[in-house]
């Protein structure tokens, strides 16, 4: 055996060169895998944000209106009250346009069509809320029609207007004139967060108000039910239950429930809560119950993990001074495990907040224009029809007007912001209270 058997270390032999090339390729595969994942994330976010960011600004038409008490009275006694108010708006608009010589060759009908169908109701609400406005002249801010809004957001152009029966090229010319005059402006769209849903013809008025409230009610139900039940179940399984085939069955069962497709929970909700227990369809109560059952395994798994991480010495110390087993758990183990439990709960809630499929089956996809009450005598607690953020997104994707795609993406941005806040809170709690034993 001589030193030459291996050759000089300073020269890489051909075989090793080949192997090193393979090594490099392998590394590249790994790097590209990460790149693919990250690029997918970026494209996903960019696509959603570029489609949806514009929904946070909305085009408003603003012009002076004069109204006197007699006109109000006449409108209020009309059969179609909003129709009557619409007439007043149209008259005022016409006055404004002629005074500023903006109408020129454009038909009056086209000018009126630029205002949202929602305007009559908005105007009426304003007048009823501000009776002192009667007899004065004031600036009225009204939603512009969805197509006009789309024109300022690049969705509608003169070419597409020719093919579209909901908008005319003349209206776009008028829109430019009004914008130049400062009468047509984009503003931050608060109404997007407060308005209820709107029908197919008026995407400009559609908002997330009911959906946000419905989601909030459901999260309240989930928090109120899933947290105590999940913690109680975990305490029993982790601290008290003796190992037997029953606890084994429960354990496998919980692991499996965590992996059951969410739509199966929807079927369960439909069959048990709606068909069997006859609770109200589309209600946050049923939605909350379904999401509770769905979130429970997540909470139990994370709670058990945090209970397990508390060293037995703590329990022994409590038992050693004569505390009962129950006292050792409730006085010592549970408070120490609380941060972990809370983190797990928030993550479970975040999951529940984004869940869509089961809610479709229990009717939450219905068109809801009224805010639900937290309690009502005939529907009970959280029993009135509502919708939820992710379901509202789905609902809007099913509409034909492209303005709703913008709304859906905007709703998703809102949903993602909520999720971001919840996850950030979870991370913060974990970092702040993390303890190594």
Partner 1 sequence: MTNIKISAKGVQVYYGDNHAIKDVDVQIEDKTVTAFIGPSGCGKSTFLRCLNRMNDTIDICRVQGDIRIDNEDIYDPAVDPVQLRAKVGMVFQKPNPFPKSIYDNVAYGPKIHGLARNKADLDEIVEKSLRKAALWTEAKDRLDAPGTGLSGGQQQRLCIARAIATAPEILLMDEPCSALDPIATAQVEELIDELRQSYSVVIVTHSMQQAARVSQKTAFFHLGNLVEYGVTDKIFTNPEDPRTESYISGRIG
Partner 2 sequence: MLPLTVPFFATIGLAIVGYLLARRRALSVASGDIRVLNALPHQHGLNTALSTLLPPLAVMLIWALAVRIGASRDLVLAPQNPAFTYIALIGLSVTGFVLSLLRISRDFRARNASERWIMALLIFASTIAILTTVGIVLSMVTETYSFFGQYDWRDFFFSTTWSPNFRGGSDLGIIPLIWGTLYISFIALVLAVPVGLFAAVYLSEYASPRMRSIAKPLIEVLAGIPTIVYGLFALVTVGPLLRDYFAAPMGLGQSASSVMTAGLVMGIMLIPFVSSLSDDIINAVPQAMRDGSLGLGATKSETIRQVVVPAALPGIVGAVLLAASRAIGETMIVVLGAGAAARLSLNPFEAMTTVTVKIVSQLTGDTDFASPETLVAFALGLTLFVITLGLNVVALFIVRKYREQYE
20-49 residues in contact with partner 1 (CB under 8 A) are: 20
Name the residue nearer to partner 1 (CB basis): 9 or 259: 9
Site for partner 2 in 339-378 (CB under 8 A): 350, 353-357, 360-361, 363, 365
Name the residue nearer to partner 2 (CB basis): 81 or 315: 315
Q: Tell me: does residue 421 bind partner 2 (CB under 8 A).
A: no
* Closest to 240 (Cα-Cα) out of 328, 336, 302, 172: 328
Residue 75: count of CB within 10 angstroms of its CB: 22
Binding mask 219-258 for partner 1 (x = CB under 8 A): ----------------------------------------
Residue 8 binds which entry of partner 2, partner 1, none, CB below 5-8 Å type-dependent: partner 1
* Separation between Cα atoms, residue 178 and residue 174, nearest integer Å: 6
169: left (phi over 0), alpha (psi -120 to 50) or beta: alpha
Q: Which of 7, 13, 17, 32 binds partner 2 (CB under 8 A)?
A: 32
Interface region with partner 1, contact rule CB under 8 A, candidates 11-19, 162-170, 230-238, 290-298: 11-19
| 403 close to 150: Cβ distance less than 8 angstroms | yes
| 418 close to 392: Cβ distance less than 8 angstroms | no
Q: Tell me: does residue 390 bind partner 2 (CB under 8 A).
A: yes
Residue 30 binds which entry of partner 2, partner 1, none, CB below 5-8 Å type-dependent: partner 2
Triad 140, 143, 147: Cα angle to 5°: 145
Q: Which of 7, 12, 41, 369 binds partner 2 (CB under 8 A)?
A: 41
Residue 424 binds which entry of partner 1, partner 2, none, CB below 5-8 Å type-dependent: none
H-only helix segments in 67-190: 69-77, 81-99, 108-112, 119-129, 146-152, 158-163, 169-181
CB of 129 to partner 2, least distance (A): 36
CB of 2 to partner 2, least distance (A): 19
Tokens of 216: 């909030």
Using CA atoms of 194, 195, 196, 202 in order, give the dihedral in degrees to the nearest 10: -150
Collapsed DSSP state (helix, strand, coil) of residue 380: strand
Size of the site for partner 2 (CB under 8 A): 87
Footprint of partner 1 on this chain (CB under 8 A)? 1, 3, 5-6, 8-13, 15-16, 19-20
């Amino acid at each position: 055996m001589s030193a030459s058997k291996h050759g000089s270390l300073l020269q890489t032999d051909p075989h090793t060169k080949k192997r090193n090339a393979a090594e490099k390729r392998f590394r590249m595969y790994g790097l590209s895998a990460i790149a693919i994942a990250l690029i997918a994330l970026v494209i996903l976010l960019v696509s959603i944000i570029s489609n949806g960011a514009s929904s946070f600004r909305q085009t408003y038409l603003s012009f002076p209106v004069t109204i006197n008490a007699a006109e109000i009275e006449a409108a209020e006694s009309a059969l179609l009250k909003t129709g009557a108010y619409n007439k007043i708006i149209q008259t005022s608009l016409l006055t404004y346009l002629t005074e500023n010589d903006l109408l020129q060759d454009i038909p009056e009908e086209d000018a009126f069509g630029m205002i949202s169908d929602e305007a009559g109701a908005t105007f009426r609400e304003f007048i009823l809320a501000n009776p002192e406005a009667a007899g004065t002249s004031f600036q009225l801010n009204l939603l512009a029609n969805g197509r006009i809004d789309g024109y300022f957001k690049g969705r509608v152009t003169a070419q597409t207007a020719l093919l579209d029966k909901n908008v005319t090229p003349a209206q776009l010319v008028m829109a430019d004139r009004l914008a130049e005059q400062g009468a047509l402006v984009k503003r931050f769209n608060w109404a997007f967060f407060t308005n209820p849903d709107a029908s197919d013809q008026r995407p400009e008025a559609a908002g997330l108000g009911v959906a946000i409230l419905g989601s909030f009610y459901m999260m309240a139900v989930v928090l109120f039910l899933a947290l105590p039940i999940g913690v109680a179940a975990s305490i029993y399984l982790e601290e008290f239950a003796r190992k037997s085939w029953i606890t084994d069955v429960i354990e496998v069962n919980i692991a499996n429930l965590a992996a059951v497709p969410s739509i199966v929970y929807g079927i369960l909700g439909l069959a048990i809560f709606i068909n069997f227990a006859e609770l109200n369809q589309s209600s946050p109560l049923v939605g909350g119950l379904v999401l509770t059952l769905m979130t429970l395994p997540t909470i139990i798994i994370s709670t058990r993990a945090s209970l397990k991480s508390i060293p037995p010495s703590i329990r022994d110390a409590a038992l050693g001074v004569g505390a009962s087993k129950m006292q050792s758990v409730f006085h010592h183990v549970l408070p120490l495990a609380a941060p972990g439990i809370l983190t797990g709960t928030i993550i479970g809630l975040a999951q529940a907040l984004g869940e869509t499929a089961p809610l479709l089956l229990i009717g939450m996809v219905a068109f809801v224009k009224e805010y639900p009450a937290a309690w009502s005598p005939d529907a009970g607690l959280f029993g009135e029809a509502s919708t939820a953020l992710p379901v509202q997104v789905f609902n809007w994707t099913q509409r034909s007007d492209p303005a709703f795609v913008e709304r859906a993406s905007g709703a998703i941005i809102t949903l993602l912001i909520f999720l971001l806040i919840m996850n950030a809170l979870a991370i913060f709690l974990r970092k702040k209270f993390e303890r190594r034993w």
